[in-house]
Amino acid sequence: MDQRKPPATEEGWYALHDCRSIDWDAWREAPQRVRDRALSEGIGFLDAYEAVEDADEGQTAVYTVMGHKADIMILHLRPTMGDLDAAERHFEQTEFAAFTEQEFSYVSVTEASGYTEKSREYFEGEVDDDSGLAQYIQARLHPDVPDEEFVCFYPMSKRRQPDQNWYDTSFEERAAHIKRHGDIGRGYGSEVSQMIAGSIGFDDWEWGITLWSDDMRHIKELLTEMRFDPSTSQFAEFGPFYVGRKFDPSELPAVLAGQRVPTDDESVPETPADVAEHEHAPADAGASHSHAEEPTASGAQTGAHAGGDTDSHGGTHPGSASEGDHPHPEESSDEDDSGSSSSSGGRPDVSADFEEIDDAAQRLGRLGLHEGDAYDAGDYALVFHSSADAEDIVDDVSDLESNFDHYDRHVQTAVRADSGQTYVVSIWTAKDAAETAAGFLKDIDGVDEQLGGSLGEGVEGSETADDSDAQAAESSQSIRETLESAGVYAGQPHGEDVYALVVYSEADAETLDEEVTDLRSAFERYDTHVQTTVYGDTDGDVAAVASLWDTEDAAQTASDYLTDLPGVVGRHGEGDGFGTMGMFYTVKPEYHEDFVEKFDTVGGLLKEMDGHRETSLLFNHDDENDMFIASQWDSQEDAMAFFRSDDFSETVDWGRDVLADRPRHVFLA
């Protein structure tokens, strides 16, 4: 058999995952003065190491660990193995360490490796050090520990069995596996951060994987989906999993007291005077950093993936030079309030310099991109000139765009030509996201002039925006006042406490319910989801799916899935007119028939009102007492005329005794 070709690799910081259990019996039996001293020394050690006082650079973080395997995990990242060695032995010198037992540890080194042609250019020295790719790989090798609440660490290896031996497969086959595996990770780039560290020759397994998220369900969903990919199902072996929550060193007393962390300062147990007098690290040492959802780079163009409000975290990027044999989702880079890359961990800034301009909208107009069609007022545009022919760079730019599209703040990226000149235009909803994207756009062939500016920020545009905002505020206030004067809850700007989507379908409610059950289970993993319900009328002629969300962005994302339901014939807001006023009521069971009769009476009055088109009463397929009234009008003012009427006020008064909870009134268009 021929010698197989390994991927080129580059190593960065060394990592130690130190998992400790606490001897709770010894802790409870220890005198208070001993426990006080242990807490003081424990806090002092963790503070100093989070402030990286033991080395020139690196990172340290501490987590609780849930389950029987350990109680706390200390994660150290340091430039040399000697630094890790000293950190581990230094901890053992503290009084606090006497109450702990090292249950598990793992030694590794952050690793960048790649299978793509672009990554080979990096490893062969053909990429400039200041390129987006080179800077990103260095950021990958010297990661910042993100601030997400939860951590999941596990070791893994590639399988070596007669018929499933990763190391007997060809370079090309491994590259194909990794690309497909990485494609899965892209879907979780804004939800899960990660760090991959190689450990061949260091520990019992071949890689150590560290994942971070603010919702552990995202990690579960990611790993579940990856289990079904052949690169995992055929070739992966896993070690033990350690799951925990991040806490600040100052909260060590709360951890030992069994309190929930993080806590408010008032709820942290009192520490002794020597703890209070202990000289802690500077306020900004080891502090949390804001995580803006930003792009990183394209796998095809730069060997990394664009990084989803998600803002977005330390991860491999499928197809990139930073990608190892176990790719996972991508990350966004961390930034401080000034927009510069955080320096606490020594990560390089992957953004690029460009000249700020105030005529970006006019420049885009000359390239055929106009407000309302290509972007919204307030977006931010990059306009980079390239000396290359447009057709020579269009594929590279397309690859970038396909990766940028995974992030909510990306609007579009494209090649445009004007008077024989080639331009690359990238539009984002926020400047900081565009700044990071610029770090990779500048690597496109022939890029020389690099410009960026806000869209719709001119004097005339600002006046128009101010007028529009004033009108919207006035309208919102009028709606709220009208509803509240009638005793109806009026929540957010147009009376909503949620954002609602409704699609209408020719399919029967039973068929819709089966489809929506699966869709609902996917929606429920998001905190912004309120409910998604199938409604139908008594005659079975009308069926609708109503989906309620806390944010407008989440609702718009969900709309793409709702319109794929069977038999969909329309959605709110389509066509002319104001659209639909959605009214959601839950009725006490004993008043069900009375409510239906009342609706018939009010429905008759609505038919006589100006601007009224149609109003339907629909029932929850699973609960007939949960009702949805879809009322369509020519204009918002026509709809509000009904809410201002005496008939509506009388209906509200009548409803106080028959409704089981507070109704929702939502403008769907």
Which residues of 23-71 form beta strands (DSSP E)? 59-65
355 token code pair? 């000249």
Contact 443, 132 (CB under 8 A): yes
Residue whose tokens read 């009214």:
583
Q: Kindly list the distances between the CA atom of residue 114 and the CA atoms of 122, 145, 172, 184, 398, in Å, as whole numbers in the listed order.
A: 9, 23, 12, 17, 21
Q: Which of 78, 70, 82 is nearest to 18 (CA)?
A: 70
60 token code pair? 């340290």
Contact 480, 643 (CB under 8 A): no
| Residues found in the chain | 669
Angle between helices 81-92 and 32-50 (to 10 degrees): 170
Q: Which of 154, 407, 423, 585 is catalytic?
A: 154
Amino acid at 111: E
Amino acid at 454: S
Residues 6+ apart with CB under 8 A from 656: 487
Amino acid at 541: D
Contact 166, 326 (CB under 8 A): no
Q: Which of 450, 354, 371 is nearest to 411 (CA)?
A: 371
Residues 6+ apart with CB under 8 A from 594: 658
For residue 633, list its beta bridge partners.
Answer: 579, 612
Contact 167, 4 (CB under 8 A): yes
- Is 154 assigned a catalytic role? yes
Calculate the CA dihedral of residues 229, 231, 233, 235 and round it to 10 degrees: 180
Contact 18, 96 (CB under 8 A): no
Contact 410, 295 (CB under 8 A): yes
268-294 in b/e form (b: 16+ CB < 10 A) is: beebbeebeebebbeeeebeebebbbb
User: How far is 413 from 403, CA to CA, in rounded Å?
Assistant: 10
Active site (catalytic) residues: 154
